[in-house]
Amino acid sequence: MSGKRVLVTGAAGFLGSHLCDRFIAEGCEVVGMDNLITGDLKNIEHLFPSKSFTFFNHDVSNFVHVSGPLDYILHFASPASPIDYLKIPIQTLKVGSLGTHNLLGLAKAKNARILVASTSEIYGDPEEHPQKETYWGNVNPIGPRGVYDEAKRFQEAMTMAYHRFHGLETRIVRIFNTYGPRMRLNDGRVLPAFIGQALRGEDFTVFGDGSQTRSFCYVDDLVEGIFRLLKSDFSEPVNLGNPDEITIREFADEIIRLTGAKTKIVYRDLPHDDPKKRRPDITLAKKVLDWTPKVHRSEGLEKTLAYFKSLDRDELYKKEHKHFDKFIKR
């Protein structure tokens, strides 16, 4: 991998920034690209002094030009939380469709291998549990989540079309709930929401009755899986996530114990189309990539909590976007 030139879109985001770190550590030259609509330069500012890193502030939904050769493209540019979908729904659809088209075209022109970031959300509110790659999903295309779910499903379809029609080397990763340092504390997802509420001394907000489940994968494990998938010869979608499933109520209790918060749990109506179950079947990743997650949730949460504690007061007290109320069933 050393000496390769890599384009990472969404480079200033949670996952994109960790990928930039990994590829620079592998001896690659990294070109980062982000329009900063949800990304933050703080996530990559430590890379700016490096001669191996270049950054472009650019929206990949517009024409993408990168001078010189490229060996790999990792397309991670996209909003990634329900709050963001409601705030910027059109941009979410465009980056999954136009942005993907632009980057597939760039990969074709550069003869580069491209890996696109898909999501467990393509399974919708699943009727199959755990979710295998062969499951086609249960998605509401016109619901609030549809702008993200359908953008990602279209992204997968276009990626496979380029692979089959043009012979492009493509990889697709379906990412399940991932956590770790550099998450946005106020992005509305359950883990940063609970930790933020604990640090602010607020009551925990649980949507529904808390019986819905999630499976949380630490970011280092995910990055390792992505790295292995990129190097592999496998072109079909692959689930990456931690199959250790937990209910939201159990998770709230876990965060309360971890933080020592003196708080109570407040219940609110469940958001529209919120998945009741979420657990990856990673049989394929084990077989094709020899990959399984290694970081236990207790260890990952300690590292994540330490990161959130390091944030300044202004960051800690930023609130979730007001559009989130429109996402709740009434």
The residue among 166, 172, 180 whose CA lies nearest residue 76 is 172
Instruction: Report DSSP state, residue 270.
Output: P
Sign of CA dihedral 79, 81, 87, 90: positive
Which helix (H) or strand (E) segment is 214 a member of?
strand 213-215
Sorted by sequence, the CB contacts under 8 Å of residue 29 that are 6+ apart come out as: 3, 4, 5, 6, 52, 53, 54
The span from the first CA to the last CA of the chain, in angstroms, equals 52
Between CA 58 and CA 26 the distance in angstroms is: 25
Query: Would you please indicate which residues are annotated as catalytic (active-site) residues?
Result: 148
Between CA 121 and CA 172 the distance in angstroms is: 14
Q: Give residue for tokens 């979730």.
A: 320
Q: Is-contact 139 153, C-beta < 8 A?
A: yes
Q: Is-contact 266 248, C-beta < 8 A?
A: no
The residue among 178, 176, 175, 191 whose CA lies nearest residue 308 is 191
Instruction: Report DSSP state, residue 170.
Output: E
Q: Pull the structure tokens for residue 293.
A: 């997650």
Tell me the chain's radius of gyration from C-alpha atoms.
19
